[in-house]
Each structure stands twice: as structure tokens, then as C-alpha cells.
Structure 1
């Protein structure tokens, strides 16, 4: 309810974890689920997403354990990078006094930087202008028709999604992708070069 009320973000409930014989399993029933307890429960999730606090309360009253999922492409897009690159980018942004906006840390080793909508269309060209080939960087953008899991959602036995930089009054206005692209591209490029060097 805080995401809807304080940030005006649309939210929708996802799957949840059921514990069977001491083992947490995804409510979707797939024993090989790639994102147990942290994905949409059905194909109609986009129509279920809402920013109404009353509707949010009603949805989670049905299943309080449901994952908290946020649709991208509406009030924000998300630039998705490896955790090592995300930490390097955050340090670089701090040195350059570039406020990052809210950043989600996922237990699957990824970090998601929330930016203004429209980033999905902009980022490939921004990366090229900075001298990188988008295909060589482990940098993805989640835009319209996609979603992100928000804290306190749990991802199976891997742990909970957390805020690396939580939403606050300081970052109420999301940055444009152009402001973060240099630091994120550099960090992902540095990580890719480091991996090739180790190989």
C-alpha cells in the first residue's frame, strides 16, 4: 500500500511460497519454477495492476503472502545490471554526485535502477554513443509489458528482494536514463572486460 500511496506506483500481487515438508515451493505448482514465489500468477497481470490503495488492500487480503510486483513502462522503467556492475556504478555515481534514484537489489545477483519511462527505447542508442556495443554488455532494460519484484518479496530459498537505495523524499523524481547510462555502461563494460581477462 505504501508504494501506491506514497509513490503513486501501480502494483499487483504475484505468486507466493508454500512450504511443503519444510521445503518452500512456488504457488504456481511448477517444481522447476525459475522465480519461485516472485512472478505473475497469470497472463492477465497487466490489467490487475493498480495504484488504488483500496484495491491494493483488497487484492492482498485474498493472499497476504503474494509477491509485490511492479509493472514497468508506466511510472518507471528499470535498467537491470549484474550486482557487481551495479555496485561499481553506484560508487561512480557518488563520486560524480549523480543521484541514482531508487535501486532494487535482487537475491539472484542483479540490481535494477529505476528511471523515467521510455528508457527501453533510449538505452541502446545511449550505450552506442558512449562507445559500447549493447550486445556485449550485460545490461537490460525492462519497459512496457514487463515487471520487477519489489521488497519484501522472497525469491525461493535465495532470499528477499531488498532496496539497495530505497525510495525517499530525496529521490522522489526519477532520473532520466541519460543521467545513469554513462556510469552503468562503464561498470558493465569493466565487468565484461574483467571476465574475459579471467578466461
Structure 2
């Protein structure tokens, strides 16, 4: 089985083209995102942007999103920003503070539950689960990303990135995603046992 301690990615992928190809093979529709300039400002042009370099580049990103790697590579060549993908199509995502998230991953591994992809974002972990309707309740400090929203994905390249894969996606774990109810149950137990880890919101 696939666990956080022993992920089985395809190959080591470091370039934007590699990531674009991988996401396309997984069937994830991708749209271009923003980037931070040399001064740290967001490419969207808003001086008060609350997610600089970590949101869609265009309001119509949902219609732009595609699985064609050639299109993705063109976007990354023209404006090398982040990549975004819709939530609620191929997966749902739970966002949780990093301390609570690491505790959750350990609990899931101990319970012999196969992990799906897991992202490390600034100050939080994003745990991918199977699509759920309705979405189970979560303890305070954890949220489900909205199904009409987006997840920000790593783009690869030599520079350090704000978003990185903690458990990389593969054709196996992107299909055999954990059931949301199981994740919610283990997260609630973990927060009941270690409440201080769940106080910080993602």
C-alpha cells in the first residue's frame, strides 16, 4: 500500500514541462496562475493581493482549464506562474495547519489508509481525498476547499517554490484516493487528542 513514508512517484520531475505532462496524464484540468515579481508583488497588479502568486491569472480560469500539455507549456513559457486546477472534479481537498496535518498523515499511515497526493503550502497542508457529497464535518481549524474553487499546484523548476508536493501524485494514488469520511474521522480524533495542533487555521 502507498503511505506518506514510502511514496512511489513516477520519476523525479523538476521542470515545468514534466509537471504539465504529469498533470495532463492524471486527467487534471489545469489553468495558468499568477506569479510574484522580483519585488514580491503579485502579477495580478493588486497592491493588496492576499494570495500573491498563488491564484488564477484570469477570472475565466475555469473555462481556460485544459489537459493539453502543449497548451500548459505555452502558458508557462509566456508567463511562468503557478498552475491551478479545479477542486471537486477529480478530487476534494482538505486544508489544515501544518502541525495538525503532519499528525493526521501519521494517523492515516498507522491506520493503513492509502494516502492520495498531499501538498505543502505556506503554513498549511492540503490533503487530497475522493470527491464527497455531502462533505463530512471537520474540527475547528480545518476546512474543505470549495468545490467551485481551485488548488494551486507546483510547477517545477530550479527555484524554491511556495507550494511543494509532500506526497507526489502518481497514477495510482491519484485514483485510489482516501475516503473523505475516514480522513475526517482520523482528523477529529487527532484534534481531540492533540487540540493545540488544530488551533492554528490554515
TM-score for the superposition, normalised by structure 1: 0.78
Match of 1:29 among 45, 63, 66: 45
**Using the alignment, how far apart are the partners of 1:148 and 1:5 within structure 2?**
15
Deviations 1:72-103 (A, max 9, x none): 01111101111111100111111111112111
Greater strand share, 1 or 2? 1
Deviations 1:18-45 (A, max 9, x none): 11xxx22111122222111111123211
Deviation digits for residues 127-160 of structure 1 (CA, Å, limit 9, x no counterpart): 5xxxxxx5xx111111421011111489xxx952
Query: How does 1:96-111 map onto structure 2 within 5 Å?
Result: 96-107=111-122, 109-111=123-125
SS, match of residue 181 in structure 1: helix
* 1:112, distance to aligned residue in structure 2 (A): 0.7
In structure 2, the residue matched to 1:141 is: 144
Runs (5+) with no aligned partner, structure 1: 128-133
Correspondences of 1:34-49 after superposition (within 5 Å): 34-49=50-65
Aligned to 1:130: none
Q: Which residue of 2 aligns with 1:53?
A: 69
The aligned length equals 177
State the TM-score, normalized to the length of structure 2: 0.77
Distance 2:88 2:191 in 1: 23
Quick check: which has more Rg, 1 or 2?
A: 1
Residue 182 (structure 2) aligns with: 179
Larger relative helix fraction: 1
**Structure 1 pair 101/69, CA: closer, same or farther in 2 (3 Å)?**
same
Q: Which 4+ runs in 1 deviate beyond 3 A?
A: 188-196
